Structure 1
Amino acid sequence: MKTLLLAGIAALTLGATSAPPEKVDLLIRGGTIYTGTAAPFIGDVAIRGDKIVAVAPHIAATATRVIDARGMIVAPGFIDAHTHMGGDLMSDDPAKRLVPAFLMQGVTTAFIGNDGGGDPDVAATLGSAAKKPVGINYATYVGFGAVREKVVGEDDRAPTPAELETMKGLVATAMCQGAIGFSTGLFYAPQSFSTTEEVIELAKEAGKRGGTYDSHIRDESSYTVGLEAAIDEELRIGREAHIPAHIAHIKALGVDVQGQAPQIIAKVEAARKAGQNVTADQYPWSASGTSLVASLIPLWAQDGGRPALLKRFDDPALTEKLRAGMTENMRKRGGPDSLLIVGGTYRNQTLAAVAKARGEDPVTAAIAAIRLGDAGVVSFNQSENDIKAFMQQPWVMTSSDASGGHPRVYGSFARKYDKYVVADHAITLRQFIERSSALTADTFQLAGRGHLRKGAFADVVVFDPKSYASRATYTAPTELAAGVRTVVVNGVVAVDGGAMTGKAGGRALAHVPTAGTCR
């Protein structure tokens, strides 16, 4: 009786009518449907071309193909708000451009250009999909780091007035070419050399054109200004640039700030209550992914890039200062046992193990490793209580921060389900689905995405609630997720019966700038 009542309510909510579509290409029948907004119900999804034409408890349509989804969950394709998958999407290798790590989790759309890395030539980034078909949809940011390096370089200095105007022009042009917003990675050199005022001036260019300000904040720990001050800066930039503020991969990183999630949540809630548009994304892992340099080298020693850093390693006058800074940064991240190297000569070894094998202290071993190259590291630095506290906020959406060597590329959405929904009961299934689809689509104005409803683009995932899970681990990070049965991208079946079809249905999603702001 309860199921029938829910189905009836859902049918009314979705505007279902008694007149079925005449004929459809694909009918997903009998699954438990989560639309992105309505309560779940047992029903069908009908697709013609690249659009959903009906969602209802029963659709008596003639279909070219019917997929039996009984016992399965049917949801909007998931949207990853923070990735570093631009290289795969632009690759000359068609297999990489399908992005199987994402499709096999049900992810049908990803954002790229995060952390300030977005190429200012947004037209080329978005135009690539027409020449090199992709497996998923993608949108891109214009990145502060890419813009600043192009104009100012890697030095620790302020831009001249002329350089600032040039950077503003690059951001404005990129927004007019379809960038979704302006991203920064204020923790990373050379972006870390900027003032708040410089960032505000550039963010204004994105704000007036309807974009979002997305930031890996200046300090997620206690490296420089501290976590709380970095959140304050994020909020100030949003207010003064008149732009929605989005906190990238929200976290409390390191032993000095673990347990501060309640204070950070309170700051965001106060800003939202005051009328400011503030959101965040989060990946569901206790370890972050970065590099040896970013995690251990003091910012002053990164001035001038890698060539300058290597010279500083050989300068006896700087040895004591450099080693002291590295020792302190290592402490903040939990010590050498908490840093797992995931690339290069010492792959899958902790820094502590490398130091022991070399017969050296951890700082000396780290310098030796950095001389060989800036290897990626997995840094275990977050508490489960903080992770869950952030995850439970209605303004926090799902992301992966997908980058090489970390299992979050292959397992973030599946892990959020199997650990935090099924095992830990930190959030509900409906919350997981809506914060992995509709919340992201609505926040970033992705028209026709993130919902199962008539007229929406046919981005759909069908997964088995009993077996959907991450199989990727920190030492085996490239294992595909389990449990996804079907994935549809713009009406194209990309995953069928739990296997990739090899079909590329993805599209580049250009943001439409505010009317009258582009010539």
Structure 2
Amino acid sequence: MNRFRLALLCAISACGVGAAPAQRVDLLIRGGTVYPGTDAPFTGDVAVAGNRIVAVGPHLTLRAARVIDAKGMIVAPGFIDPHTHVEDQLASKDAQARLVPGFLMQGVTTAVVGNDGGGSPDMAAVFGHKQIGINYAAHVGFGAVRGAVVGEADRAPTDAELTRMKKMVAGAMCQGAIGFSTGLFYAPQSFSKTEEVAALAAEAGRRGGYYDSHIRDESSYNIGLAGAIEEAIAVGRLGHVPVHISHIKALGVDVQGQAPAIIAKVEAARRAGQDVTADQYPWSASGTSLVASLIPRWAQDGGRKALLARFDDPALKDRLRADMVDNLRRRGGANALLVTEGEFRGQRLDAIAKAQGTDAIAAAITVIRKHDPAVASFNQTEADIEAFMRQPWVMTGSDASTGHPRSYGSFARKYARYVVERKTISLHDFIERSTALTADTVGLTGRGRLKRGAFADIVIFDPKHYAERATYEEPALLARGVQTVVVNGAVAVDRGKLTGVAAGRALKKTPRPGSC
């Protein structure tokens, strides 16, 4: 911040909400309904100088290089997505892709990457993206770390391997990672034991980070949904680290209706003093791969080559088929799996089987032999979705991934469907759980609130029209209703259109003093 900006910030800070008419700012958002993040809304103004908010109040007497009339609009902090898979977009050679339009057009200004255990420990590479449209923070991932040290085998690490993994996690945290993520449902992470996970999560906790988990079982595949929630809480307790449960849900016919019992477990841990939170996307279909949906863990030991061999092994193929039949049952049947990429994109598994003149399991094996495509898996009930959404510790997330409308519409859909249409939560709660709660949970200092001194990440949207357009059939349609998005003080969306300005930045977390 140059001397003029610093002097202006100090001057406005000294005089309170109002400011002398002689003072001049870069941007004045005037007359909107302002939701600061946690505080009550009011009709008023937000002033921006450089990359910071310099004043917020009912009526600011400031001159500005540009004034945006926000009358009738909602003015809120830029939304923060705690669980995404937009690494490829941030690293793209295509400047338009690096803007991450699907996020900006919903008002999302910050994303967390490296989720589900996929975050590389090479933080220098992770934080090297330039000319990007949104801010991003990153996890170091268990899958990347374990894969590099232990490989794809179903075994425990040696003491030396565990020490090496701990050093990798610690090193990434010291280079700016915000936490340690796992995807314990996915091989080879699924081959781990609780104590191994806790030992690595502790390295993040010592440095001020948190433990982010796609839990071991969201359904009834192995230890069950309740057991997996208990394990996540145990990791936090053993590792002395805050716990964040990714995309909380009750997945599949065996566990639908269990949301109240799962909520009770989390509430009990919170009452006992543990820091436990979760995020959620507002869709009834999850997004995963065909292998993850149908193939049992034992058949994934050794990786893809070993799996393909088991399809043809006379001693194993009948057992493998029987387990796939049961997994398909718990997912809700062949019509509940929609392929979202590759040769069979847009087709449900029952339709693929019919076209091939075979049954669903044989069709799935044929597809997997060629490729393990992403799928949308329709497996949740509205009652469970809404029960989780009402909890004050559950924030908005997208789990943005290929071919699923959640990448382009999660925040907009949550507002349109669950605030306006179904009135599941209030507008205040939607904004707080999409901004301040997320910033506080993941440790993003100076973001998530409209207040003096905060970074100027701001969304202005039309409360009558803000909604998703993306569908399962057309998952890449941009949301509607966002008028303006400001990222670090720069206007990235203006009058409902992308400006092409790439003002995003990598957000490195400062590790706890003395921990590195």
- How is 1:14-93 mapped onto 2 (pairs within 5 angstroms)? 16-17=17-18, 19=20, 22-93=23-94
Work out the CA distance in 2 between the residues paired with 1:188 and 1:19: 58
* Aligned counterparts of 1:424 and 1:62: Cα–Cα separation in 2: 41
Contact in 2 for aligned 1:262/1:389 (Cα 8 Å): yes
1:256 to 243, 254, 257: 254
The CA distance in 2 between the partners of 1:21 and 1:150, in whole Å, is 60
Is the contact made by 1:21 and 1:53 (CA closer than 8 Å) also made in structure 2? no
Aligned-pair identity in percent equals 69
**Which residue of 1 is the match for residue 3 of structure 2?**
none
Partner AA of 1:502 in structure 2:
G
The CA deviation at 1:455 is 0.3
Could you tell me how far apart the structure 2 residues matched to 1:122 and 1:377 are?
30
Q: For residues 19 and 209 of structure 2, what CA distance do their matches in structure 1 show?
A: 40
Distance 1:490 1:247, change over 3 A: same
Aligned residue in 1 for 2:437: 439
Question: Are residues 322 and 459 of structure 1, via their aligned partners in 2, closer, same or farther at CA, if it must alter by over 3 Å?
Answer: same
Residue 307 of structure 1 aligns to a residue whose secondary structure is helix
1:275 to 273, 276, 298: 273
Following the alignment from structure 1 to structure 2, what is the Cα–Cα distance between the partners of residues 53 and 483? 26
Question: Do the aligned partners of 2:18 and 2:61 also contact (CA within 8 Å) in 1?
Answer: no
TM-score normalised by the chain length of structure 2: 0.96
What is the distance in 2 between the residues matched to 1:315 and 1:274? 50
**Residue 478 of structure 1, CA deviation:** 0.3
Give the letter for the 1:427 counterpart.
Answer: I
Give SS of 1:344's match: coil
Q: For residues 117 and 237 of structure 2, what CA distance do their matches in structure 1 show?
A: 20
Paired position in structure 2 for 1:358: 356
Which ranges in structure 2 are unaligned for 5 or more consecutive residues? 1-12
What is the CA distance between 1:232 and its match in structure 2?
Answer: 0.4
Residue-by-residue CA offset, 1:104-143 (whole Å, 9 max, x unaligned): 00000000000000000112211x13xx211000000000
Aligned length: 503
CA contact (8 A) 2:20 2:62 kept: no
Q: Indicate the residue corresponding to 1:111 in structure 2.
A: 112
**Is residue 470–residue 476 contact of structure 2 (8 Å, CA) maintained in 1?**
yes
> Structure 1, residues 332-372: CA drift from partner, whole Å, max 9, x if none?
00000100111111111110011111110100000001111
Task: Give me the whole-angstrom Cα distance separating, in 1, the residues matched to 2:354 and 2:52.
Answer: 58
Cα deviation, residue 90, structure 1: 1.5
Match of 1:210 in 2: 208
Shift of 1:18: 5.2
1:10-67 alpha-carbon deviations (Å, 9 max, x no partner): xx9x952454671100011111000002111111100000000001111111100111
Give secondary structure in 2 for the equivalent of 1:393.
coil
Partner AA of 1:214 in structure 2:
D
Distance 1:96 1:120 in 2: 24
* Counterpart for residue 170 of structure 2: 172
Instruction: Describe how 1:396-407 pairs up with structure 2 within 5 A.
Output: 396-407=394-405
SS of the residue corresponding to residue 28 of structure 2 reads strand
Q: Unmatched 5+ residue regions in structure 1?
A: 1-11
| 1:150 matches 2:151 | no
Report the Cα distance in structure 2 between the residues aligned to 1:234 and 1:375, rounded to whole angstroms: 28
CA distance in 2 between counterparts of 1:360 and 1:205 reads 50
1:328 aligned residue: 326
CA distance in 2, matches of 1:402, 1:21: 45
Aligned to 2:492: 494
**Partner residue of 2:7?**
none
- Deviation per CA, 1:398-439, whole angstroms, max 9, x where unpaired? 000000010000000000000000110000111001100010
Instruction: Provide the C-alpha distance between the structure 2 equivalents of 1:440 and 1:100, rounded to a whole number of angstroms.
Output: 21
- DSSP 3-state at the match of 1:30: strand
1:115 touches 1:216 (CA, 8 Å); kept in 2? Answer: yes
Match of 1:82, SS state, is coil
* Mapping for residues 73-472 of structure 1, pairs under 5 Å: 73-126=74-127, 128-129=128-129, 132-472=130-470
Distance (Å, rounded) in 1 between the aligned partners of 2:418 and 2:240? 35
Code of the residue aligned with 2:253 in structure 1: it is V
Separation in structure 2 between the aligned mates of residue 210 and residue 19 of structure 1, nearest angstrom: 41
